[in-house]
Amino acid sequence: MLQATRTLQLQLASLRSLAQLYGVEPEYENAMGDRCEASADSLLRTLQLLGAPIQRASDADGATLQWLLKHWQSLLEPVSVTWSDQPARVAVRLAESHSAGRLKATLRLESGEIRAWECSVEELPSIREQLVDRTTFQERLLTVPGDLPFGYHRLEVEIADETSNCMLISAPRRSYDPDGGMRRKVWGAFLPLYALRSSRNWGCGDLTDLGALAEWVGSHGGEVLGTLPLLAASLDVPFEPSPYSPASRLFWNELYLDLEAIPEFAENETARAMVAGGTFATALSELRSAPLVDYRRQMQLKKQVLSELALSFFSHPDAGRRQEYEQFLRMRPDAADYARFRAVGDQLNAAWTDWPHHLQGGSIDDSATDQDSRNYHLYVQWIAEEQMRTLSGRMRGAGVSLYLDLPLGVNAASYDVYRNRDAFVLGAAGGCPPDIVFRGGQNWGFPPMHPQGIRTQRYKYVIDYLRHQLRHAGILRIDHMPVFHRLFWVPNRMEARDGVYVRYPSDELYAVFSLESHRHQVMLVGEDLGTVPPEVPQAMEQHNVHRMFVGQYVVQPDPKEPIPDAPVNSVASLNTHDMPPFAAFLNGDDIRQRQVLGLPGDLNPDKELEQRSAIVEAIARYLAKDGKKLDAEEVKELTIGCIELLARGSARTLLLNLEDLWGEEQSQNIPGTSDQFPNWRRKARLSLEEFARSPEVLNAVAKAARE
């Protein structure tokens, strides 16, 4: 019995050691400060998902030896990083038998320039040794001669009969700073585009509306306009309107197109007659007046018109427009593949995971799809790129930066997963361990990226989805910044509480994002809210990724300082899209709503309401001390006072949730709900025309600008 117990203990120890080699954390500290150990089953399942050759815990020693041999027998890592503030050096792993040999190196720069040199192994500084299966290996540092320009370069090394290559990323240590370190303060506005009402849209905000809103912000001294992700969505099968579960991070959502601004619309009598028809006009009127966005019906109407425009364009293309379309195809050669993918989904009315086996494999030729459907998806992506380009130009003219949002993941049925299978893990979902609100943890449903898969792919998918947004953004918000370091994985058929943390190659991710931010001159903002390990804010500071400072997260019942000052390199706001509007927060409506919806809370509701009242009283007393005579019930005055407080603070950017300026009390999204609440559907109570001339809105904007 004792021997069996000892054997199990040794096997578990070996399993935990193997897990660390693969970047799986055997234990972690949760939000309550408790140490949590991953179970053997969780470690085993996660290791299998990462490709470890292991079926049971007793296989751990053999799998460890295989990992060590593969690692040390590889001359180079698939990716290496060199920063702008240090010499360009690359670690090379060599067997003892090569210690007296000569190493040949060839560096092909991104520009096409080739540099080649040789050196003796003995010249290279040794940094460590490892004995693996009776063979001694050394890791030595190879210095790249000359100045190394920023970019993605290819380094190849050869010794004896062995050759290996890697992507060498040369990147600035700090991401792009639009102010050149001058610490200039700016303010901006935020509103989900789907929620933006106007007298001219079809019942859902569009890109023309976004441009008009940007010009209004700019006319009042604002320099930033933020919205939720505008990426491709599944609004048929599978139906998923959440902007944080996109159908692709590589393409746009045609729902946001302004159809009447498309050049082909003006020339197409059939499309214009369709829109002017009584049935269509009635449907548009109903969609405009509805308090919620009806995505299915909205997209059905737009698709009727877009299909007609696409059919007409491909049948009788204007020569000039045809050239513009072909230029788009040259810029986005993957658009045809995406169009085939979406066309099969249209034809089968099913997610790719339910397609016939021969189509699931990733190969789709034109014969398997309907040409009109392919052409539709090509056409709408071309038009979307045109309208995004028009929008970004219009915003630059208004002096306003477009603040776009990069979701943490994509839908499991997305094009991105289908086409980049090696970059994802399909047997798990990203999530969050238990915390004070979600005691059982969270399963977010999307497949996590494979930390080694993206390296083997030389970050092609990551670079592609970044460039897609950076072409038009002035600021990019990165959802869930801790993913640069680690992500909580929940293996399929396991409870969220049984998940484990998996580490990611943070240096390489920061290098890619920093390099691309400079190339596109885009400021980076990282969402670092919730459970965040200490290395995350440290790395964000080192790489000039601005933090988020949210008033509702940090507000405290202290009349001397109800809201602490924000960090200099941060974007300050009262709330986020996942939080109640400030009026609801002050009134405690979010606490009562959680009760009604049966959602968990960190305290009993009465205690929470008591604490919230203390916070409101502290804010009121602080603002009164500042020369104002306020009643704690005067919610709008308290809101404006807190906005002024943030505006006077140190944060570089102040982002105003426009709905807070007129005292909105309903949330846009309540985490942990699905059918219980209309997430991602509620329209703003005031239209663009109404709030643009609202005295209370203009007063709040003027105070933000003045501070």
Q: Is 678 exposed, middle or buried (0-12, 13-18, 19+ CB in 10 A)?
A: middle
pLDDT tens digit string along 360-407?
A: 998 998 888 999 999 999 999 999 999 999 999 999 999 999 999 999
- The rounded distance, in Å, linking the Cα atoms of 366 and 428 is 32
Closest CA to 452 of 512, 501, 502, 513: 502
Average the pLDDT over each of 34-43, 64-73, 601-610, 661-670 and give the range with the smallest value.
601-610
Contact in structure between 244 and 209 (CB atoms under 8 Å)? no
Q: What pLDDT is attached to residue 4?
A: 65
Which is higher by pLDDT, 630 or 505? 505
Q: What pLDDT is attached to residue 630?
A: 55
Instruction: Kindly state the average pLDDT of the residues 34-58.
Output: 96
Contact in structure between 406 and 476 (CB atoms under 8 Å)? yes
Q: What pLDDT is attached to residue 100?
A: 87
Instruction: Kindly state the average pLDDT of the residues 618-634.
Output: 73
For residue 558, what are its two tokens?
């202290």
**Strands, sheet with 89-95, edge to edge from the N-terminal-most edge strand:** 89-95, 135-143, 126-132
**pLDDT confidence of 1, banded at 50, 70, 90?**
low
Q: Where are the alpha helices (DSSP H) in 361-440?
A: 371-398, 415-419
Q: What pLDDT is attached to residue 409?
A: 97
**Residues ≥6 apart with Cβ < 8 Å to 530:** 31, 432, 435
Q: What is the DSSP letter of 682?
A: B
Please give the CATH number for the structural domain made up of 85-171. Answer: 2.60.40
pLDDT at 632 over 80: no
- The rounded distance, in Å, linking the Cα atoms of 325 and 446 is 33
Contact in structure between 215 and 564 (CB atoms under 8 Å)? no
**Beta strands 401-406; 224-226: pairing state:** parallel
- Rounded to the nearest angstrom, the gap between the alpha carbon of residue 507 and the centroid of all alpha carbons in its chain is 18
Which is higher by pLDDT, 628 or 576? 576
The domain spans of the chain are: 2-61, 85-171, 550-707
H helix or E strand, kind and range, residue 470: helix 460-470
H helix or E strand, kind and range, residue 477: strand 475-478
HEC profile of 622-665: HHHHCCCCCCCCCHHHHHHHHHHHHHHCCCCEEEEEHHHHHCCC
What φ, ψ does residue 280 adopt, rounded to 5°?
A: -65, -45
Instruction: Kindly state the average pLDDT of the residues 617-621.
Output: 92
Q: Angle formed by the axes of helices 335-348 and 319-331, to 10°?
A: 100
pLDDT at 186 over 70: yes
DSSP-assigned states of every residue in 35-57: EEEPPHHHHHHHHHHTT-S-SSG
Q: What pLDDT is attached to residue 530?
A: 83
pLDDT tens digit string along 654-696?
A: 999 999 999 999 999 999 898 899 999 999 999 999 999 999 9
Average pLDDT, the chain: 94
In the three-class reduction of DSSP (H, G, I as helix; E, B as strand; rest coil), residue 317 is classed as coil
- The rounded distance, in Å, linking the Cα atoms of 481 and 476 is 12
Q: Angle formed by the axes of helices 695-706 and 635-648, to 10°?
A: 20
**pLDDT confidence of 434, banded at 50, 70, 90?**
confident
Q: What pLDDT is attached to residue 435?
A: 81
